[in-house]
Amino acid sequence: MHVTSDETAHAVDLILARARERLLTDPPLGGTTKDSDLLEFASGALTEQGIGVQAALGIFADVLSPACVAADHPGYLSFIPAAPTKTATAFDMLVSASAVFGGFWRVGSGAIFAENQVLDWLAREFGLPPGAGGTFVQGGTQGNLSALVAARESARRSRARLGLSAPARWAIIASADAHSSVRSVARIMDVDVVPVRPSSTGALEAGSVREALDSTDVTVFAVVATAGSTNFGTVDDIASIAALKDEYTFWLHVDGAYGLAGMLSPVGRPLFAGVERADSLIVDPHKWLFAPFDACALIYRDPEEGRRAHTQRAEYLDAVTQTADWSAADYAVHLTRRARGLPLWFSLATHGAGAYRDAVTACIELAREIADEINLRPHLRLVRDPQLSIVVFERIGWTQDDYDSWAALQLSTGRALVTPSSHNSVPNLRLAIINPLTTRELLLELLDSMS
């Protein structure tokens, strides 16, 4: 493709100016647009000759971007939002512009070194021993998959050393409330999931896990504990589950995609006792660690378990696989990868870990304040006291249609995205508070609007 230097400079200037404007101004919440409207206004973008950078940028800015909800908006309170620091987002552009391949040490040693600094910091925060490490992958689903593949490979090797044949079926034990990715991973791996009913608080506890270990007729190779469930932010009783490792042989994987960042806060840290005994864990920086999409930190207690499970072999890879170099491609289900941990590294280096602790703490404290407000209002009912930063409540007397209408109004007015949820087939509303810019005033406005 031949593009003149003047054309390139013009395009870069326009794109950077648009990005600067987006980063330095408060964005609108955005919304959803009908397919027919998008077809009308954006269908002519792809042509044989091209429409030029100005026109293409105009379609993105005027048509495509407004048809998306801005996940970093303080009113984005559904699913699990994103709240990247402006420095992390800006640096992410530089990472892309630097054309860094983050798979192999031989060509990306500087980037992988910096990512490993972050992984080492996280491992120490979570109480894992020196030498723990891993890699950054796309998201929690890929992190869970990679960890559990390594867990099964470890179990296979252990059985082989004992002279045991492969079992008829492998299985994972997990809470019935575990993230949907655990079931998806099990389907991909063709293993069973033994679902265990959580306690009345929503937490998976050792007694139920022990019962499942004793009663199942399949070979359990891993137990998955959740450090902050997506629906309620509930932290399983990880310490009691980890204690079972003294009696049973299994790999303990902690899915902390959303909630494990809560361990950075002195307010949240006591909830996570036992994480230090995990064989693997994940946490998503693009959730509560203020990094841009997409990044999941996957950390192994013994990284060699990951390397043995995931290193790909091919003649063209001999130069990178026949060395002791730390190549990030060796620790997960991936080969080609961008250095997606660098924006978190840059933001941490810029702002310091203390700023992260303060931001996480503020979100936990705000969730508790709003839960107290809900308890003061007779027409609202808190479904469960929040542990971390997710608040689930009901508007007494409302039907599903009432929730849907209210949510649609909040989005259409640009106030907030709050999509209805449910628990035990009863509809409710769920506020996921991970953005330090989300204010008490905004949340009180939402509560007031339900009177």
> How high is the pLDDT of residue 322?
78
Dump pLDDT digits (tens) for 212-233. Answer: 999 988 899 999 999 999 999 9
CA distance 111 to 344: 12
Q: Which residue has the higher pLDDT, 324 or 281?
A: 281
Whether the predicted pLDDT of 319 surpasses 90: no
Tell me the C-alpha to C-alpha distance, in Å, between residue 73 and each of 81, 140, 259, 415, 417.
9, 22, 20, 10, 9
Q: Beta-carbon neighbour count of residue 55 at 10 Å?
A: 12
Question: Rounded to two decimals, what is the model's pTM?
Answer: 0.95
> How high is the pLDDT of residue 1?
66
The least confident of 43-47, 115-119, 132-136 is 43-47
- The CATH number of the domain covering residues in 93-351: 3.40.640.10
Residue 185, CB-side half-sphere exposure with 13 Å CA sphere: 29
54: pLDDT confidence band, cut at 50, 70 and 90?
Answer: very high
Q: Taking residues 96-118, what's their average pLDDT? A: 95
Q: Taking residues 272-286, what's their average pLDDT? A: 98
The sign of the torsion formed by the CA atoms of 119, 179, 374, 433 equals: positive
Q: Taking residues 92-99, what's their average pLDDT? A: 95
> How high is the pLDDT of residue 125?
98
Tell me the C-alpha to C-alpha distance, in Å, between residue 342 and each of 71, 94, 98, 339.
20, 10, 12, 6
Whether the predicted pLDDT of 27 surpasses 90: no
Q: Taking residues 168-180, what's their average pLDDT? A: 95
Classify domain 353-448 at the CATH topology level: Aspartate Aminotransferase, domain 1 (3.90.1150)
CA distance 79 to 390: 10
> How high is the pLDDT of residue 378?
97
Q: What DSSP letter does each residue of 278-306 carry, written as one string?
A: -SEEEE-HHHHT---SS-EEEEESSHHHH
Instruction: Please give the share of the chain, as a percent, with pLDDT higher than 90.
Output: 88
Whether the predicted pLDDT of 32 surpasses 90: no
Whether the predicted pLDDT of 364 surpasses 90: yes
Q: Taking residues 292-311, what's their average pLDDT? A: 96
CA distance 59 to 41: 8
CA distance 424 to 127: 35
Where do the structural domains in the chain lie, given as residue ranges? Answer: 1-30+32-66, 93-351, 353-448
Q: What is the token pair recorded at 381?
A: 């009912």
Whether the predicted pLDDT of 81 surpasses 70: yes
Residue 267 sits at the vertex; the CA angle it makes with 264 and 271, to the nearest 5 degrees, is: 80
Instruction: Please give the share of the chain, as a percent, with pLDDT higher than 70.
Output: 100
Dump pLDDT digits (tens) for 321-351. Answer: 778 889 999 999 998 999 999 999 999 999 9
